[in-house]
Amino acid sequence: MDGVKHIIAVASGKGGVGKSTVTVNLALALAAQGYRVGVLDADIYGPSQAQMLGVKEGTRPQAASNDKFLPLQAHGIQAMSMAFMVNTREPMVWRGPMVVGAFQQMLTQTQWDNLDFLLIDMPPGTGDIQLTLAQKVPVAGAVIVTTPQDIALLDARKGIEMFRKVNVPVLGVVENMSLYHCEKCGHEAAIFGTGGGDNIAQEYDTQVLGRLPLTLSIRELTDSGRPSVVSEPDGAVSQTFATIAQKVAEAVSANQGDGPTISFSE
């Protein structure tokens, strides 16, 4: 893609595991390490990156030349989302082809400005958007977000298998909500279980990029439009994201030159 060196899909097999929160903080962590970064919110039905990045409701992208439009700027990164195109209070009652068309338009008609990394916040599941992405552009790799419990891991496996079918390398797994930390008393508890990220990484010969705790501050800061990486750059959560960002950049560099091809097997 013009203006983009590497595309990274951030995906999950199911919703509710914190994929969008991981996407925005990972993007900001990469930017903090000196990379030029963009975020494309591919969740057409439920876009959330606009709020997470603190973009005011009703803000629209400006038109550029050649029927393209300029991404918005937020916290030093470039962003494009369906939330910039429509009234987010209205439901998107669209069939599959309309959703795919909207995604392709954002993907191909956004004039990205010299990005090192474009992170795509994928919708949950393994459907039209995922296949369209793999078919239209070379994807450098995928980051899989999961929580430790067995039900979430079942769906995470499907996400990994889907990317393998289209020959997109899985860069690693982020285990979110791995440990509950009470901010009042300091008590910690693995309420969703333990070892899930390690097990799935071992099963698919990939790595655990990092583990994130279940804490109130992550949710509050993201909801307010100032995610942890920019609000608490020296905090433990931001340091974890910095480590994840470094591992992602290293994995992309190691895989450079291995563009995906479409190959389905029974």
Q: Which residues are annotated as a binding site for ATP?
A: 13-20
Helix 216-223 and helix 19-32: axis angle, to 10°?
Answer: 80
CA 237 to chain centre: 17
Alpha-helix residue ranges (DSSP H) falling in 138-215? 150-165, 196-203
Distance between CA 108 and CA 126 in Å, rounded? Answer: 21
Distance between CA 191 and CA 55 in Å, rounded? Answer: 33
Distance between CA 245 and CA 208 in Å, rounded? Answer: 12
The binding site comprises 13-20
Tokens of 125: 């599941």
